[in-house]
Amino acid sequence: MAKKIKDPGLGYISNENVQSFISPNGSSNVLHLNRSRNFDDLYTYLLGLSWGVFLLLVSLGFILLNTFFALIYLWIGIEELTIPSGYWWENFLNAFNFSAQTITTVGYGAISPTGMLSGVVSSLEALAGLMSFSFITGLLYGRFSKPKPSLKFSKSLVVRDFEEERGLMFRLANKRTTIMIEPEIKVTLTITEKDKSGEFKRSFFQLDLERDKVTYLPTMWTIVHKIDKSSPLHKYSNKQLLKLKANIYILFQYHEESYAQKVYKMHSYAFNDLLVDTKFKSSVKFSKEGQMILDHDLLNQTEPVD
């Protein structure tokens, strides 16, 4: 008989259209309301951005900060920096150019402050520039040094005949050429069904796997849950599984030699991703010299069971 586990923090109450609390890429899919915020949240947020968005924000911040100081120099008087051109736009560009040299501490010397007020403002701007670039340097180091798992999961779950029963399966592979050391996986199943009162309730199960850890993994790993009498999925036919409101949550961990430490990766599947009477195509073959070849394009490819 399937053994339920206690609520891991999601709550037993559910609804008909409940979504996974983990996105397929492993990020959180929870909407937070009335959450307090502090400066540490900003640092964490910036570390988690994609490189494109991060560089865009840095560039935008650089432009806005220099624009702010350029307007201050124009308010003080451009004559304290250089000879006025008679055109506002050219004076603004000269002030912006001086601001960019000051905030980066380059100081070409072509433009320099001659008044006391402009000298004070430029000194404060240089301090702001040093602090800003120190912050950005820390972010760059954090982004490069943060351990990142390089893992791909198959797009689909499959259910097929397995050892006189049925098996629920998915695959994963390392995107790098390194070998995963002591990989370990835990899989949790949630099923949402109506109770006798007509309300949707959620049940939680820890799935038993054919293997939940190996010593090392150089290729792909097919994770198998045998749907026998002890499985929470045993009472469902294949047609019922396709209609079942269920999600699978995965926690994968292994030692990443690139960072010399253990890394973690979360993933989720909805039973909308389920294929029945289907199997994964073999992803490994051998060269004439006997070297093992792993084809990453075959990770998601399936074929009907004979």
DSSP letter string over 3-20? PB----SS-SB--TTPPP
Written out in words, the top-level CATH class of the domain with range 151-304 is: mainly beta
pLDDT one digit per residue (tens) for the chain, 306 residues:
556 777 777 777 777 677 777 777 777 777 777 777 777 788 888 888 888 999 999 999 999 999 999 999 999 988 888 888 878 888 899 889 989 988 988 877 778 888 888 889 988 989 999 999 898 998 898 888 888 888 899 999 999 999 889 999 999 998 888 888 999 999 999 998 887 777 888 889 999 999 999 998 888 899 999 999 999 999 999 999 999 999 999 999 999 887 788 999 999 999 988 999 999 988 888 888 888 888 888 888 998 987
| Cα 244 to Cα 229: distance, rounded to the nearest angstrom | 18
Contacts of residue 167, Cβ cutoff 8 Å, sequence gap at least 6 = 159, 160, 161, 210, 224, 225, 226, 227
What pLDDT was estimated at residue 234? 92
Domain residue spans of the chain: 49-145, 151-304
Written out in words, the top-level CATH class of the domain with range 49-145 is: mainly alpha
Cβ(209)–Cβ(224) under 8 Å? yes
Render the chain in DSSP notation, one character per residue.
-PPB----SS-SB--TTPPPSB-TTS-B-----S----HHHHHHHHHHS-HHHHHHHHHHHHHHHHHHHHHHHHHH-GGGTS---S-HHHHHHHHHHHHHHHHTT---SSS---SHHHHHHHHHHHHHHHHHHHHHHHHHHHHHHS----EEE-S-EEEEEETTEEEEEEEEEESSSSPEEEEEEEEEEEEEEE-TTS-EEEEEEEPP-S-SB-SEESSEEEEEEEESTTSTTTTS-HHHHHH-EEEEEEEEEEEETTTTEEEEEEEEEEGGGEEESEEEPP-EEE-TT--EEE-GGGTT-EEE--
Asked whether the domain spanning 151-304 has the same topology as the one spanning 49-145, the reply is no
What pLDDT was estimated at residue 2? 59
Residue type, 18: V
What pLDDT was estimated at residue 3? 66
Cβ(136)–Cβ(49) under 8 Å? no
Q: How far apart are the first and last CA of the chain?
A: 30
